[in-house]
Structure 1
């Protein structure tokens, strides 16, 4: 779940537009994609477990990658992934370098004003994570007077503070969960996907979810504004993949449960 940073966006946009001027435009409309037999998709390639290279080498893999490939198969085309930094993905989309971005893009009102979005293929609430067996925290209200570990720039830091927690600033999830497991903080707040990925990698970790938010983040494929025909075709493909169990199967592989709905 990514957020824009204005200065970085402007710099990335300038760089991406410069590159786009030197590169051939990708087929972006539904007809052009089908005529070409290829859909060009922007992704980071460094965002585990969604879009990454195992151990930094080898082919591109991940949750978003596999879902994109399944969608392309339904459309009857091949996928050509183009890797770029997060902020440059949107500049590339605007410049016609990509037909679609697949990178856990969260749907927000601000982004909906500038881009088209598919139906969500990932649903992830925020969760409070506590030590295994700890029943002192069962709701966000229970964070009052407790200590949580949060990344300073994250929205989870703000949420913990708003609910009365004393927040210890850390660099990321790994440090948060380490402090939690050591008993140096009472909890940490993060998205459920991060928790599930960690538990899949370290199933014996002595932590558990104590509560979750009522308004989950919704992640979807992003398209240039008004590219509605391609968006609608991708939505039809996603529906087929949801109905035939493919989305659930890919979810289970990467998270141990169905996070697609």
Structure 2
């Protein structure tokens, strides 16, 4: 494979795995927002997904509860909160029902949806062709890119091409490591983001590559800390609400709710609260 084509493929793969728990399935991360809506009028007539939620007066979301800043317990044991949790509650409000949450480990979250333990998943689920073949997806409520993070005074790194010969700090098990290698960087192995960003701050490496949401969360919590984004990928990862295949009516209602939340500024407000930037567009 030509080097440029290899790098494009690695960027797409890295964006899908860049959100930690939601990285288990590969793909471009830039697929159609809603995916296949299934069969025709007959199936639509049998679809009781929205009616079920309305009758119960509750929509139940599957989420991890251990995935900060998206779904976690404040102070380690407080109420469930986070970016995805607040988006889910706002969706429920627009649907005229209450939001309930079923906390589930990531490895079991799709099985829980399949088994009907909850109506939908809000846990930074990246849209991929493989997942679209099995599930319904709302319009995306999170959009992210891969970024190169360097010290504030670094002027030598302005693109992925300029990483050639430079040293980056990466976890060897991540696709960000593969992207750094394909860009010609020398890679120093680290255990994760905290260690890699510390090495950048100390000047022991030139840069690190990671998901933009990870960087924004770090800056929101710690301030700029002498860091900046030197470049970002053109490929984007999109995350959305995932539902059972055939739950077309509920998916469409969630799409309407998300549009209303975008139009009235709610999504932007929640995004600013957690990231200091609008990551919903």
Q: TM-score, normalised by structure 1?
A: 0.90
Residue in 2 aligned with 1:154?
174
Partner of 1:190, secondary structure, is strand
Which of these residues, 233, 251, 271, is aligned with residue 213 of structure 1?
233
Instruction: Give the distance between the partners of 1:98 and 1:154, measured in 2 at CA.
Output: 30
Instruction: Give the distance between the partners of 2:181 and 2:248, measured in 1 at CA.
Output: 40
Which of these residues, 61, 65, 72, is aligned with residue 41 of structure 1?
61
Shift of residue 199, structure 1, vs aligned partner: 0.5
Which of these residues, 213, 220, 223, is aligned with residue 200 of structure 1?
220
Residue in 2 aligned with 1:243?
263
Residue in 2 aligned with 1:54?
74
Instruction: Give the distance between the partners of 1:177 and 1:89, measured in 2 at CA.
Output: 30
What is the 5 A alignment of 1:69-80? 69-80=89-100
Instruction: Give the distance between the partners of 1:253 and 1:3, measured in 2 at CA.
Output: 24
Whether 1:133 and 2:150 are equivalent positions in the alignment is: no
Instruction: Give the distance between the partners of 1:110 and 1:160, measured in 2 at CA.
Output: 26
Instruction: Give the distance between the partners of 1:203 and 1:84, measured in 2 at CA.
Output: 32
Shift of residue 3, structure 1, vs aligned partner: 2.2
Instruction: Give the distance between the partners of 2:274 and 2:23, measured in 1 at CA.
Output: 23
Instruction: Give the distance between the partners of 2:64 and 2:52, measured in 1 at CA.
Output: 24
Question: Unpaired runs of 5+ in structure 2?
Answer: 1-18, 26-47
Partner of 2:209, secondary structure, is strand
What is the 5 A alignment of 1:217-232? 217-232=237-252
Shift of residue 201, structure 1, vs aligned partner: 0.8
Deviations 1:30-70 (A, max 9, x none): 10000000011100000000000012111000000001000
Residue in 1 aligned with 2:109?
89
Question: Unpaired runs of 5+ in structure 1?
Answer: 6-27
Whether 1:4 and 2:24 are equivalent positions in the alignment is: yes
Instruction: Give the distance between the partners of 2:173 and 2:179, measured in 1 at CA.
Output: 12
Shift of residue 204, structure 1, vs aligned partner: 4.3
Residue in 2 aligned with 1:191?
211
Instruction: Give the distance between the partners of 1:70 and 1:79, measured in 2 at CA.
Output: 9
Whether 1:165 and 2:170 are equivalent positions in the alignment is: no
Instruction: Give the distance between the partners of 1:222 and 1:228, measured in 2 at CA.
Output: 11
Instruction: Give the distance between the partners of 1:51 and 1:145, measured in 2 at CA.
Output: 38
Instruction: Give the distance between the partners of 2:158 and 2:24, measured in 1 at CA.
Output: 32
- What RMSD in Å do the two structures reach over aligned CA positions? 1.3
Shift of residue 194, structure 1, vs aligned partner: 0.6
Instruction: Give the distance between the partners of 1:128 and 1:49, measured in 2 at CA.
Output: 21
Deviations 1:149-169 (A, max 9, x none): 111221211111111111112
Shift of residue 126, structure 1, vs aligned partner: 0.5
Instruction: Give the distance between the partners of 2:147 and 2:195, measured in 1 at CA.
Output: 17
Q: TM-score, normalised by structure 2?
A: 0.83
Residue in 1 aligned with 2:118?
98
Partner of 2:241, secondary structure, is strand
